[in-house]
Amino acid sequence: MIGRLRAWLGRGRVATAVTPQPELPPPPSLAEELAGLALNADAWLAARPRSGTLYSTLPAETISAVAQQYPEQAAAIVAAADRAISHEFDLLGSGPFVPVDPGREARGAYRPIDWYLDPVQHLRFPERVPYREWNLLEMRPGLADVKFPWEMSRCQHWLPLAQAFRITGDTRYATEVFDQHDDFMAANPVGFGVNWTCTMDVAIGAFNWAMAADLIHAARQADAGRVAGLYSSIFDRGHFIERNLENKYEVTSNHFLSNVVGLFGVAMLFRELPSGQRWVARCREWLEQEIRVQVLADGADYESSVPYHRLVTELFLSGARLAQLDAHPLSNEYLAKLRLMFVFLEAVLRPDGRVPQIGDADDGRVHIFSNYGQWQPQYPNTLMIGQWPAGKDLSTFANMTVLFGHVPMASETSLPTLFASTSMAAEISTSLMW
């Protein structure tokens, strides 16, 4: 706990006397790396698979079938996407707000988002500060909470936009993702501004960008130039994460783990390229290392917080699923430790099925597949295999949990059953489905 506090404070200030670090050469752009392989963006994008790159990228027929089978959940996703198009957000208990950038003009019907806003204090963080010069104690306006712009920059609302596009075929949702990408990069060039000062948030945002991009591109209906621009930005984010890992403190924590999992998600988009291959290899090593370091023998996260245990479980589960999609599952030791994390979480649930508040919490998520802006952090069924739906076969259940993120139970207060049977426990251990 103390180590995490020191690490957080360390991200918010700059030492008064530091030894200048040698400047690294600029990393290659996506276009440059493709050119080195005698490829161009159009050819590379055209050759990308339509499913299976990330666990969110399901075949079109699967998305259609699952959406038809669960119309209420599909309608809720579309409603969340409509709020995202209206730029209506509700973050960290803020209540609904619409952040309009006061310094940039509308582009047609699109109003630029204020990516620097604390909507509770109605204060803005300074813009375009080089991230290495960031000093939270000196640059924080009044009592503004930096977690609001950081949370916005995770772009977890891009998933419902991409999901709604695939469910409905309405290109407005894909266009909104591209417009918000252009908007974000205009207000937050790489390395400039508060939204580049915490690599955890950069990495989670990059992973959500990757999921949205791949979901949209898989339909082959979007403008190729805008798709290429988005993939190029995701590639740049990967290099930023690699060069700014949060593993320089006394201990590693959920921050470094988020860096690793976010970079792994980005790497899966580029795994046939030299940078992607390097990222995949390093992320695999780091995941194996961190589950040994951060998870105790009983399956509990060492940070002594049940809500953070939930987040770390989601992160390790994401890493395991990505490794499986890469055709080389992580070690049996890793999978056994991950299973213990679920066993621990089930053991500490209250009788009403909620997670108890023990230790600190910030309600962090890697992805929000359903109920964006309305999900209840006390319920873990948005993370894990919940009560097995009667009459549903395993493949349908797996696809639904990927598309919507959770299974509708008979009662939201019913106790989730993580391992409904011995075979279910084995299935989770080997297949690691959402």
The verdict on residue 147 lying in a domain is yes
Helices 254-269 and 199-218, interaxial angle, to 10°?
30
How many beta carbons lie within 10 A of that of residue 207, not counting itself? 29
Number of domains in the chain: 1
Average pLDDT over residues 298-306: 93
Q: Which domain holds residue 408?
A: 27-431
Average pLDDT over residues 297-313: 93
The verdict on residue 9 lying in a domain is no
The verdict on residue 18 lying in a domain is no
**3-state secondary structure at position 123:** strand
How many beta carbons lie within 10 A of that of residue 167, not counting itself? 22
The verdict on residue 309 lying in a domain is yes
The verdict on residue 16 lying in a domain is no
pLDDT over threshold 70, residue 19? no
Of 153, 150, 183, give the one whose Cα is nearest residue 8. Answer: 150
Of 37, 18, 434, give the one whose Cα is nearest residue 274. Answer: 37
The verdict on residue 344 lying in a domain is yes
The verdict on residue 6 lying in a domain is no
The verdict on residue 13 lying in a domain is no
pLDDT: is 354 or 423 the higher one?
Answer: 354
Query: Could you give the CA distance from residue 29 to residue 185 in angstroms, rounded to a whole number?
Result: 15
CATH code for the domain of 288 = 1.50.10.100
Which pTM was predicted? 0.86
- Alpha helices, H only, 105-244: 136-139, 147-153, 158-168, 171-187, 199-218, 224-243
Which of 2-6, 359-363, 388-392 is predicted least confidently?
388-392
pLDDT-based confidence at residue 383 (cuts at 50, 70, 90): low
